[in-house]
Structure 1
Amino acid sequence: MCAHPAIKAFMCGSLSGTCSTLLFQPLDLDIGPTDHPAVDRVGMVTVLLSVVRTEKLPGLWKGVSPSFVRTIPGVGIYFSTYYSLKQHFFQDRSPGALGAVLLGGGARTVAGVFMLPVTVIKTRFECGRYSYSSVVGALRSVCQTEGTAALFSGLTATLLRDVPFSGIYVMFYSQTKASLPKGKISASPSAPLANFSCGILAGVLASLVTQPADMVKTHVQKYSWSFIIFSRSALSFWENGLQGYFRGAVPRALRRTMMAAMAWTVYEQMMAHIGLKS
C-alpha cells in the first residue's frame, strides 16, 4: 500500500532536517545573551575557535542530539503540514505572496507548538547553566522541579519569531523561484543550486526581521517563563539600544538562513524524486 502523500512529505522533511542540522550544527552554539557582558561581545569566529581549543572539533557538535530530537520530527511536521495546507487550499495553483505567508506561518505554528518542549530542553542543554545528562533526563528534571508548564516557556516569543520568519521566508522563496526562468526550476542539474540560492536570499531578510524576538525567546527559555522575566528581557535589550536586539544577529541569521535553504532544497529534490509537487 502506498503511503499517503502527507506522510511522504513528512519523511522528505525529516530527512531534509537531518541533513541541515548535521551540516550547520556548529553555527547553533549559544553565543547570545549570557550572564557575562564581555562574553556577549565576542564574535562568532572567536567562539568557534575557543570551542575547538577547549573541546576539540567534536565540541562544535555539542547539543546535536537534542537538535536531532527536535529537528527530525519538527521539520517533518512542518513540511507535511505545509504540503497538506497547500493541497487543500491551492491544489495545483501556485500561492500568491499573501497565500505563501499564510502557508508558511500556519505550518510553523503547528510544528512550533508541537515541538516547543524539546526546543526548551535544547536551549537549556546548550547554555551551560544546567547539568543535564540526556534529553530524557532534562525533560524529567524540568517536569519535577518546575512543572509541565515550564516546557512551554517562551511560547509567545517563539511564535512571534518563528511564524513571521516562516511566512516571510516562504513568501520570498516562492516569489523568487517564480521570477526565475522556468528551465532553472525543473529536473535539470541546476535546480538544487537555484533552490538553494533562492533560500539564501529569502532567509537573510526573514532572519533580520525576526532577530529581536529570537533574542527575547532564548533568554526566557534559559531562565524559565514568567511575565516578569519576559518583560525584563525585552526591556534589557531595549535599554542597550537597537543594537542590543541584534547582538549575535550574524551567526543566528547565518545558521537559520543556511539551515532553511538546505532543508527546502533537499525537501524539494526528494519530493520531485518521488513524483510529488512540493
Structure 2
Amino acid sequence: MDKLNSNFINADIDDPKFRIKPYQQMIASCTGALLTSVIVTPLDVVKTRLQVQQKAMLSNRCFLYCNGLMDHLCSCNDKLPEWLKENQKFNGTLDALMKIGKREGVFSLWSGLSPTLVLAVPTTIVYFVCYEQLRLYLKDKYNERMNNDAFHKVQPFWIPMIAGSTARIWAATIVSPLELIRTKMQSQKLSYREMGQALKTVIKYSGVQGLWMGLSATLFRDVPFSAIYWFNYETIKNLFPSSHGTFSFNLAAGATAGSIAAFITLPFDVVKTHRQIEMGEKEIYSEKRGNIKNNNNNTYIIKKIYRQSGIKGLFTGLIPRLVKVAPACAIMIATFEQGKHFFYKHNRSLALGDNVHYEKHEYDK
C-alpha cells in the first residue's frame, strides 16, 4: 500500500461531513458478532464448565437436582453434576475439550449457541452503536469547549472509558435474561424443555426480576472490562496512527486490548458464573430466605473463593477465557472497523461525487 492510499484510508473517519450513520454502525457490527459467536462458543463452554467444576468441588452443601432440574434431594456424596461425575475431573482447557466432545458429542461444545446468537446480535448492536454515538458526542462537545477546529480535534483518554462503560451497562441490562439462559445451558447439558422448567422455577420463587439474576455480577465484570478495553484499544490506535486502517493491525490491537481487560476482570467473571449456575437452587431449598441475599452478593462470593482456593481460585478458567476473548475481540473490532471504513468511503463518495471514485481508482492502481 503506497503512502497516498494509506492517507486515504486513514482519513478522519470521525469527520461530521462523512460520518457513518447509526444504521451503518449496526450493519458493521452484526457480521463480526455472528462470526465471533460461532468460533468462540466452545471455549466459552469450557470456561463455564471449569468454573462450575470449581464451585462443585468447593461447595460444602448438597446439590439438589434431577437431570439438571432442582427438584429432589441427593445425598452429599452425589453433589457433583452428572457430567462432572461421568467425565471425571477436567485437567485444563484441552482436556475439557476432549472429554466433553468424546462423552457428550462434538456438538455439545456449542451448547447454548442458539441463545448466544440471539444474545450476540442485539447486544452487539446496542453496545457498539451506543459506544460510537456517545464517544462522538463527548468528543464533539470536548473540542467545541476547547475551541479546537476540525483539523485539530482530539479525543482524551477518558472519553472511550466513559463511552464503553455506559454502552456496556445498557447492553448488559437489556440482554441479561438471555445471558442467564446461555450460562445455565453451558454449565450442564439441558434440553430446551428442561431450560423452560428451570426458568419457571426462578420466576415462581423470585419473580420476573429473577431473570436478571447475576446482573450485578455481570456489570461488575463487564463495565470495568469495557473501560479497560476501549482505553487500551484507542491508545494503541493513537500510538500507531499510520497503521490503524488495516485489518491485521485491528486484529492485533483488539486481541491485545481484550487480553489485558480479560485478565484483570477474570475474578468478576468467576463470580458471575457462580451466581448464575445456582439459578433456582437457593430459592427452593433455603429455609432462611433472609440469608440468601447476604450470602449471594459479589463480595461474599469473592471472599469465599479466596478463602477456599486462594488467588488461583479467582482465576479459574483463565486460559479458555483468554483464548476466547483475544480472538473474539480481534475479530469483532477488526470487522467493525472495516465496516466503518467501508461506509465512511461510501458516504464520502456520495458527498463529493465522481472525484472520489476517480481518486480511489487511482489509489488502487
Whether TM exceeds 0.5 here: the answer is yes
Residue in 1 that maps onto 2:336: 267
Q: Alignment RMSD, CA only?
A: 2.5
CA 1:33 to 1:51, structure 2 compared with 1: closer, same or farther past 3 Å?
A: closer
Indicate which of 51, 65, 81 corresponds to 1:32.
51
Residue in 2 that maps onto 1:192: 247
- Cα deviation, residue 146, structure 1: 3.6
Structure-1-length-normalised TM-score: 0.87
Indicate which of 78, 95, 98 corresponds to 2:155.
95
- Cα deviation, residue 10, structure 1: 2.1
- Alpha-carbon displacement from aligned partner over 1:80-106 (angstroms, at most 9, x marks no partner): 101110221114745222212111111
Q: Is the 8 A contact 2:255 2:325 kept in 1?
A: no
Residue in 1 that maps onto 2:263: 208
Q: Is the 8 A contact 2:90 2:96 kept in 1?
A: no
Residue in 1 that maps onto 2:27: 11
Moved more, 89-98 or 111-120: 89-98
Following the alignment from structure 2 to structure 1, what is the Cα–Cα distance between the partners of residues 128 and 99?
36
Structure 2: runs of 5+ lacking an equivalent: 1-19, 59-83, 141-149, 280-291, 348-365
Indicate which of 49, 54, 66 corresponds to 2:115.
66
- Alpha-carbon displacement from aligned partner over 1:162-221 (angstroms, at most 9, x marks no partner): 010011000101111111141x223xxxx1110010111111111111011111111111
Indicate which of 151, 165, 170 corresponds to 2:225.
165
Q: Say which SS state the counterpart of residue 223 (structure 1) adopts.
A: coil
Following the alignment from structure 1 to structure 2, what is the Cα–Cα distance between the partners of residues 117 and 49?
30
CA 1:33 to 1:236, structure 2 compared with 1: closer, same or farther past 3 Å?
A: farther
Following the alignment from structure 2 to structure 1, what is the Cα–Cα distance between the partners of residues 198 and 27?
27
- Cα deviation, residue 139, structure 1: 4.8
Structure 1: runs of 5+ lacking an equivalent: none
Q: Is the 8 A contact 1:13 1:77 kept in 2?
A: no
Q: Say which SS state the counterpart of residue 275 (structure 1) adopts.
A: helix
1:118 equivalent to 2:178? Answer yes
- Alpha-carbon displacement from aligned partner over 1:9-62 (angstroms, at most 9, x marks no partner): 123222221111111111111221331468676200000011221233322212
| % same residue | 26
Following the alignment from structure 1 to structure 2, what is the Cα–Cα distance between the partners of residues 94 and 173?
16
Structure-2-length-normalised TM-score: 0.68
Paired residues in the alignment total: 269
- Alpha-carbon displacement from aligned partner over 1:101-151 (angstroms, at most 9, x marks no partner): 111111111111111111111111111175543877765554345421111
Following the alignment from structure 1 to structure 2, what is the Cα–Cα distance between the partners of residues 227 and 15?
42
CA 1:105 to 1:94, structure 2 compared with 1: closer, same or farther past 3 Å?
A: farther
Indicate which of 303, 315, 325 corresponds to 1:235.
303
CA 1:178 to 1:47, structure 2 compared with 1: closer, same or farther past 3 Å?
A: same
Partner amino acid, structure 2, of 1:235: K
Following the alignment from structure 2 to structure 1, what is the Cα–Cα distance between the partners of residues 197 and 325?
27
Q: Say which SS state the counterpart of residue 32 (structure 1) adopts.
A: helix
CA 1:99 to 1:181, structure 2 compared with 1: closer, same or farther past 3 Å?
A: closer
